[in-house]
Structure 1
Amino acid sequence: MAKSLYKDICDTLRFSKFYESYAQSLSDILSYKYGSLLNPTDKVQDAFIKLWENCAKVTPDSAKSYVYTIANNLMLNEVKHQKVTLNYTKIGQKDYTNESPEFLMRKEQFLQQYKNVLEGLKPEQREAFLLSKVEGKTHKEIAELLGVTKKVVEHRIYGAFNVLKDKLEDFKLK
C-alpha cells in the first residue's frame, strides 16, 4: 500500500475534493439500503461534519471507512428511533381510570365548589392566594408585585385559607 503524503484530512481543499468524491455515492448506498424516508442525505451530511470535527485524528487512508461507518451508524440509530416511536404509537393512550364513579363525581363537585369559593374571595385575597399557590411565588415576590408589605401578603393568604377551610369543610381540607 502506498504511503499517504498527508497525515490528516484537515486541509479545506482536500476535504472538499473528498466530499465531492464520496458524498453522492454514500447517499445512494444508504438510500438503497434503508430507503429514502429516513433522510440518508442528512445522515451523510452529519457524517461529513463529524469527519471535519475529527479531521486531525483521521488519516486520509481511513477517511472513507470513517465516513461510511459514521453514516451507517447514524442510519441504524434512526431505524431504532423509528421502531421506538412506532411501538409507542401502537400502545395508545389510556382512556380509563381506576377511580370509582363516586370518586370522580366527588372530585368534580369539589372542583366546582372550589372555583365558586375562589370567586367569592375578596379580590386582593384571591390575587395573593393564586400568586402563591398557582404560580409558586414567594411572599416577598408577591409583596413586590402588589406594592404592599410581606405581612399584608401573609395576612391575605391566611385569610383566603380560612375562607376555603370554612366553605369547603365537607371535603376535610387540612
Structure 2
Amino acid sequence: MPSQNNSNVCDEKIFEQVHKKYAQDLYNFTYYKYGEKIDPADKVQNAFLKLWENCKDILPEKAKSFLFTVTNNLAINTFKHHQVVLKYQNEYFSSQQNNEDPSFLMEEAEYLKKYQQALSLLTPEKRATFLMCKAEGKKHQEVAELLGVSRKAVEKRLYSAISELRKHIKEI
C-alpha cells in the first residue's frame, strides 16, 4: 500500500484497500488464538467499525497495528465475559443420533477431546502458530509477519507445539 503524506484512512479507497489486505488475516488470527466461541467475524467487523470511527487519526501505515490491537482487545473482553458466564452455568451437550458405529463415535469423540485438550495446554503463541501453519497452510515467514516475531521463533514454536501435541495424544 503506498504511503501518502497527509492521508488517513477516511479516504474510501484507502479504507477499502486496508479492509481487503487485513480482514482475512485478522479473522484467522482471532479464530486461531481464541476459537470460534468469541465470534471472530464479529470482532473483525467491530474493529473495522472502530477504524472508520477514528479514521481521521489513523494513518494507513498504522492501520494494521490499530486493527490487530482492537480485535485482540475485543476478543479478550469477550473471552473474559465467557469465563464469567461459564462459571455460573453448566453446559450440557446432547448427542445427536447417528447411523455410524457407536464405538467409532466414542473413539472419534475421545480423540477430538484429547486433541482439543492438548491444544488448550499449548501457550497461546504456540497454539496460534501451530494452527496458522498447519490448519491454514501459511508459510513460516507469513506467520512471523502476522505475529511480529522472527521466522526462527515461528519454527521453534511450531516444532515445540508439535512435540507437545504428540506427547499428549500418543495414548490414542
- TM-score, length-scaled by structure 1: 0.48
Bigger relative contact order (CA 8 A; separation at least 6): 2
Between Structure 1 and Structure 2, whose CA radius of gyration is higher? 1
- TM-score, length-scaled by structure 2: 0.49
